[in-house]
Structure 1
């Protein structure tokens, strides 16, 4: 590469580009990249036997955290569940619940009082999950919010629910 007959300018630009590349490791041909090139397909995983998963979609939680958590815990209690896994796509909510003993914010104190109901279960795990990794649960939550009803699985499947489950199973 020659810039108007001046080779030194081209070398200097190349050296600066190499330094930036090594510093940021974003596009670097000499070292592995920071961003993974392997695409990991995330899917819903079946809960262990004797355990129930509850998906707490943030869209529903924005309206009223206390009411939503109370409904979810009430549903789990009515199903006589010993172990509970709560999944949410809100990292802020998951951190507030998992660190509720240390969190002094309003959300932390609110989650602390709501999580007192966790004592009725043998074990409770609160996990963050990417909204895109659980298409069926996310779509069912949106459907419930749109219809403003609780969708229990003890009912006959509607065509919408059937299509959501089939699409998630195929992908």
Structure 2
């Protein structure tokens, strides 16, 4: 029931959960079923022919039977290993900026949350675009840029940026000289903005450790644009 009832924003997340829940035989059957459906669709789209519904149904029913009675004694392909998630204190004077982006049904949302070295929320924000298609890569890059702008607005000097997008982390950290593509030019502009910090670092984190920024993204998808700042008493850290 978990694979059917749980809401997923990306197909890859659903497949990763399936790998952790199912054993090898069951997962192979699942992939075979998905492939049969996709292959039949491609035959119709590119060759103008598709198998009779009865043939496809019989094949799927047989595979589904195997899928339902899979041997639960066998271990999943990827074992579920508990991940220790806890706040790690930052070096004194550093601020952590978590960024995330979500693309769903031609809507794009981004979220930013900023915390000081003791874990207190300094501020954050999020926004969205309606009926404006944007690839996930561009959305994540835009969210990262908004995180930089928001950090500058709070006069952050030493920053640690965290995102669960490996592509963005790789692109920012490797500083690829890409002057041809539009995204390469945008990345170069981001590097210039990052040079305004005294010290700056970019880290990849697991999606499960980026829940607050992800929540702001989803609120932004509902046309909820917001930016906020926290004003604490001077002795809050004492």
Using a 3 Å threshold, how does the CA distance of structure 1 residues 148 and 66 change in structure 2: closer, same or farther? farther
Say yes or no: does 1:113 pair with 2:156. Answer: no
Highest Rg: 1 or 2? 1
Taking the aligned partners of 1:44 and 1:58, their CA distance within structure 2 comes to: 22
The answer to whether 1:125 aligns with 2:201 is yes
Output one character per residue of 1:129-158: Cα deviation in whole Å (capped at 9) or x when no partner.
Answer: 111123233223332443441332438xxx
Q: Which residue of 2 aligns with 1:48?
A: 91
Summarize deviations over 1:59-78 as a string: whole Å, max 9, x none. Answer: 24636566544432221112
**Gap regions ≥5 residues in structure 2:** 1-77, 103-108, 111-135, 232-238
Identify which of 132, 145, 163 aligns with 1:88: 163
Q: Please report the TM-score for the alignment, with normalisation by the length of structure 2.
A: 0.42
Normalising by the residue count of structure 1, what TM-score does the alignment of the two structures yield? 0.56
Is the 8 Å Cα contact of residues 58 and 88 (structure 1) preserved in structure 2? no
Higher strand share: 2
**Unmatched 5+ residue regions in structure 1?**
1-34, 156-171
Q: CA deviation at 1:58?
A: 3.1
Counterpart in 1 of 2:148?
Answer: 73
Segments ≥4 residues shifted beyond 4 Å: 35-38, 63-67, 102-105
Coordinate RMSD, CA, aligned: 3.1
The answer to which structure has the higher helix fraction is: 1
